[in-house]
């Protein structure tokens, strides 16, 4: 088994889930509570990775962070090397790719918090930010864990985006799914089977955890 | 100008109704204003505008010298900045917090010791001893209501807003807590606005009643004024009680209470309110009119008086009889002709003891 690939994959999945917990919360909060009439435009953008082929998403991310784009140039100027085909580049791509898997369960959980509780908190002089952490987060823990776990599990198995943005660099961007592909290409079915079984077991275990915890949170967009 | 809360605002709900309310509540001495009306009349919307949870499209809300809302100059004071105590219907207790946690929720600006002290005070005031660590789901309806009240008054608000404070309770608890809530409001000495659709609650709690229908305030006045002298037919229909007079329970025996209203004696069903001031409430359709000297009936009250006013509405006539206090009866046109009633005619009004409703009215 390629332990280096497993380490890269786990590191990538943990960091993706961690970053999504931080940036997914404000996005989900805004999507849940904003009264802006064109909000659905943002909702659709967030959900896009659910339907877009990973190669298409990977292609656009590659172009967006490549050395010819302003973002890519800025990154190269700051860090000294370009973003594509590095672990950091792969992380950026993973975050976009798993965004709906974090934001949708978060938004569903926020949606289920009784509005009157939130309003009552405001009338007690508690700011919106403090109300979020003191009241909304404790009432949404199941949804928050679901979002984090799903984005973790989704990152474990990503293939197309990784190949487009990360390439296949041992110890840097070669993840478990790429490793399995390589083994099969080399006709080493025994090696592929072991890694595949590990990925299957971990993914299944993670989903078991989520379903057991709260079935209701797993779903498409929040019911309205 | 004396300190007051003045409201003059408008908010439209397309395809439902438009709230357009004007209201003044003097703040000194603090008084309890009741927003009274059927459901869907805009009471809760108005209360939410006062709490800062709805934004009127037009108009102003001014609390003493502070402008809370001024639509024309885009002033919208947040709910956090209004220093109010708001209790929504069904209480909205925080399920993840204990009773003590709910009460101290809004007290974060106090130091830890002062906060604990305030929670202790409120636990004692609302008789919640022993429940400090309970979660809201473990409490009875009455206890939940007291926790919600404690939480609302914890920050010593300058205005207390209660939305149907008793409607989530079962009937026996409701009638018990009505009196308790009245004495608490008196003790707190905070200007308060209470939304209700229950006339007994309105009479028990209110110093001023504002009758709402279809988003507008139809009449504002003292409870007695609004109930006994409704400004128009619409108000009369909403309040539904034509005679409301102040009286005194003078005796109580064998389940029958004797009342004194302006010297006139009345019987009503038993009560434990002996010696206390009450509102005596009688619906006009519960009053029978007889000619003087006619036979004995099962009704416990036979009040002699004379007709002072008659108003015809379709086939019905509302007759006001002076029998020591103005009593309204509603009879048919045929009955009036048969009795030969004219202004000045002597009549006897018969009322069953069970039709005389008492609402306790402890001195505010």
For chain A (length 224 residues), average pLDDT per consecutive 10? 88 96 96 92 92 92 89 88 89 94 95 95 96 95 91 91 87 90 93 92 86 60 46
Q: What is the DSSP letter of A223?
A: P
Q: Please provide the distance, in angstroms rounded to a whole number, between the alpha carbons at the two ends of chain A.
A: 47
Query: At residue B58, does pLDDT exceed 90?
Result: yes
Q: Cα(A100)–Cα(A220) distance, rounded to whole angstroms?
A: 9
Give the pLDDT confidence score for residue A79 in this predicted structure: 86
Per-residue pLDDT, A223: 45
Go through B51-73 and write b for each residue having 16 or more CB atoms within 10 A of its CB, e for each that does not. bbbbebeebbbbbbeeebbbbee
- Residue-by-residue DSSP string for chain A: --HHHHHHHHHHHHHHHHHHHHHHHHHHHHHHH---TTHHHHHHHHHHHHHS-HHHHHHHHHHHHSTTSHHHHHHHHHHSS-STTSHHHHHHHHHHHHHHHHHHHHHHHHHTS-HHHHHHHHHTT--HHHHIIIIIHHHTHHHHHHHHHHHHHHHHT--HHIIIII---TTTT--HHHHHHHHHHTT-HHHHHHHHHHHHHHHHHHHHHHHHH-GGG-SSSPP-
Residue B1: the pLDDT is 58
Q: Over range B117-131, report the average pLDDT.
A: 94
What is the domain class of B4-240 according to CATH?
alpha beta
DSSP H/E element including B267: strand B264-269
- Predicted confidence at residue B364, as pLDDT, reads 42
DSSP letter at B54? S
pTM, entire model: 0.82
B317 in Cβ contact with B232 (< 8 Å): no
**Is residue B62 within 8 Å of B107, Cβ to Cβ?**
no
How far is residue A67's CA from residue B234's CA, in Å, rounded to a whole number? 75
Q: Could B155 and A124 be called an inter-chain contact, meaning their C-beta atoms sit closer than 8 Å?
A: yes
pLDDT of res. A216? 53
DSSP-assigned letter for residue B79: G
Indicate if the pLDDT at residue B44 is higher than 70. yes
Other C-beta atoms lying within 10 Å of the C-beta of residue B298: 7
On chain B, the residues whose CB falls within 8 A of the CB of A117 are: 92, 94-95
Q: How far apart are CA B230 and CA B219, in angstroms?
A: 8
In A, minimum Cα distance to B77 occurs at A123
CB-CB under 8 Å, B109 with A117: no
CB B37 within 8 A of CB B211: yes
Q: Do B85 and A123 touch (CB under 8 A)?
A: yes
The answer, yes or no, to whether residue B362 has pLDDT greater than 70, is: no
If pLDDT is split at 50, 70 and 90, which confidence band does B100 have?
very high
**What is the overall mean pLDDT for chain B?**
90
How far apart, in Å, are the Cα atoms of B139 and each of A120, B29, B134, B136? Answer: 19, 35, 7, 5
Examine the pLDDT at B6 and tell me if it is beyond 70: yes
CATH number of B244-360: 2.40.50.100
Inter-chain residue contact A122 with B109, CB threshold 8 Å: no
Helices A176-185 and A3-33, packing angle to 10 deg? 130
Nearest CA in chain B to A127: B80
Q: What is the pLDDT of residue A134?
A: 94
- In contact, A1 and A195? CB cutoff 8 Å: yes
Quick one: pLDDT band at residue B227, thresholds 50, 70, 90?
confident
Q: How confident is the model over B225-243, as a mean pLDDT?
A: 82
Please give the DSSP secondary-structure letter assigned to residue B263: T
| Selection from B65, B53, B60 nearest residue B28 by Cα | B65
What b/e readout covers B311-325, taking b as 16+ CB neighbours within 10 angstroms? eeeeebbbbbbebbb
Adjacent-strand bridge partners of B32? B192
Rounded Cα gap, residues B362 and B364, in angstroms? 6
Sign (positive/negative) of CA torsion B23, B26, B30, B31?
Answer: negative
Pairing of strands B75-76, B243-253: unpaired
Confidence of residue B26 (pLDDT cuts 50, 70, 90): very high
Q: Which residue from A minimizes the CA distance to B86?
A: A123
Domain boundaries, chain B: 4-240, 244-360
Task: Summarize the confidence of residues B239-247 as an average pLDDT.
Answer: 85
Distance CA A218, CA A108 (A): 9
Architecture per CATH, A3-217 = Orthogonal Bundle (1.10)
Q: Which residue of B has its CA nearest to A121?
A: B106
Mean pLDDT of B199-212: 91
How far off is chain B from A18, nearest CA to CA, in Å?
25
A109, A122, A124, A128, best to mutate vs chain B, most B CBs in 10 Å: A124
Q: From the CA of A135, how many Å to the nearest CA of chain B?
A: 8
Rounded distance, CA B348 to CA B288, Å? 8
**Per-residue pLDDT tens digits for B142-189:** 999 999 999 999 999 999 999 999 988 888 888 888 888 998 999 999
CA distance A54 to A97: 8
Lookup: tokens for B136: 């809201």
Mean pLDDT of B328-332: 91
Of A69-83, B84-98, B134-148, B182-196, the one with minimum mean pLDDT is A69-83
Please indicate whether, in this complex, the C-beta atoms of A114 and B92 are within 8 angstroms of each other.
Answer: yes
Across the interface, of A117, A126, A138, the residue whose CB is closest to B80 is A126
What residues of A are in contact with residue B106 (Cβ under 8 Å)?
121, 124-126
> Closest approach of chain B CAs to the CA of A115, in angstroms?
9
Q: State whether B105 and A134 contact (CB < 8 Å).
A: yes
Q: Work out the percent of chain B whose per-residue pLDDT is above 90.
A: 60
Tell me how far apart the alpha carbons of residues B127 and B14 are, in angstroms, rounded to a whole number.
44
> How much is the pLDDT for B172?
83
Q: What is the pLDDT of residue A214?
A: 64
């Amino acid at each position: 088994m390629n332990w280096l690939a497993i380490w890269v994959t786990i590191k990538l999945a943990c960091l993706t889930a961690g970053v999504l917990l931080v940036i997914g919360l404000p996005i989900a909060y805004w999507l849940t509570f904003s009264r802006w009439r064109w909000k659905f435009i943002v909702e659709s953008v967030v959900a896009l990775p659910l339907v877009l082929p990973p190669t298409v998403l990977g292609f656009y991310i590659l172009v967006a962070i490549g050395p010819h784009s302003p973002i890519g140039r800025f990154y190269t100027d700051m860090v000294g090397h370009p973003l594509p085909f590095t672990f950091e580049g792969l992380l950026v791509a993973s975050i976009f790719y798993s965004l709906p898997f974090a934001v949708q369960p978060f938004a569903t959980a926020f949606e289920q918090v009784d509005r009157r509780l939130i309003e009552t908190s405001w009338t007690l002089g508690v700011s919106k930010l403090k109300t979020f952490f003191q009241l909304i987060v404790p009432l949404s823990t199941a949804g928050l864990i679901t979002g984090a776990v799903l984005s973790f599990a989704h990152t474990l198995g990503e293939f197309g985006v990784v190949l487009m943005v990360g390439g296949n660099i041992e110890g840097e961007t070669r993840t478990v799914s790429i490793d399995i592909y390589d083994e099969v290409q080399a006709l080493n079915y025994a090696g592929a089977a072991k890694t595949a079984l590990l990925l299957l077991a971990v993914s299944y275990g993670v989903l078991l955890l989520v379903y057991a915890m709260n079935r209701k949170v797993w779903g498409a967009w929040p019911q309205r | 100008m004396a300190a007051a809360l003045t409201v003059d605002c408008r908010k439209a709900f397309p395809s439902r109704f438009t709230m357009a309310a004007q209201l003044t509540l003097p703040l000194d001495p603090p008084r309890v204003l009741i927003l009274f009306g059927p459901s869907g009349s805009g009471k809760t919307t108005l209360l939410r505008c006062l709490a800062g949870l709805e934004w009127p499209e037009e108009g102003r809300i001014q609390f003493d010298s502070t402008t809370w809302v001024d639509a024309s100059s885009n002033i919208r004071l947040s709910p956090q900045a209004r220093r109010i105590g708001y209790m929504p219907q069904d209480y909205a207790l925080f399920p993840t917090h204990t009773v003590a946690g709910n009460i101290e929720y809004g007290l974060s600006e106090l130091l830890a010791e002062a906060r604990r002290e305030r929670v202790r005070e409120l636990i004692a005031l609302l008789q919640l001893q022993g429940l400090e660590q309970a979660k809201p789901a473990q409490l009875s309806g009455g206890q939940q209501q007291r926790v919600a009240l404690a939480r609302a008054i914890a920050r010593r608000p300058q205005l207390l807003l209660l939305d149907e404070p008793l409607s989530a309770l079962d009937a026996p608890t409701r009638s018990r807590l009505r009196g308790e809530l009245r004495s608490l409001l008196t003790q707190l000495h905070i200007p308060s606005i209470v939304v209700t659709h229950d006339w007994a609650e309105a009479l028990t709690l209110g110093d001023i009643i504002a009758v709402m229908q279809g988003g507008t305030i139809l009449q504002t006045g003292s409870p007695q004024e609004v109930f006994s002298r409704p400004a128009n037919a619409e108000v009369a229909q909403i309040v539904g009680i034509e005679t409301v007079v102040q009286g005194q329970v003078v005796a109580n025996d064998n389940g029958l209470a004797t009342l004194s209203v302006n010297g006139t004696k009345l019987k009503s069903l038993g009560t434990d309110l002996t010696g206390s001031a009450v509102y005596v409430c009688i619906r006009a359709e519960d009053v029978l009119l007889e000619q003087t000297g006619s036979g004995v009936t099962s009704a416990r009250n036979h009040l002699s008086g004379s007709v002072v006013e008659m108003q015809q509405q379709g086939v019905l006539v509302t007759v006001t009889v002076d029998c020591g206090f103005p009593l309204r009866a509603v009879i048919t046109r045929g009955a009036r002709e048969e009795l030969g009633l004219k202004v000045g005619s002597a009549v006897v009004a018969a009322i069953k003891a069970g039709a005389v409703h008492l609402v306790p009215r402890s001195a505010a």
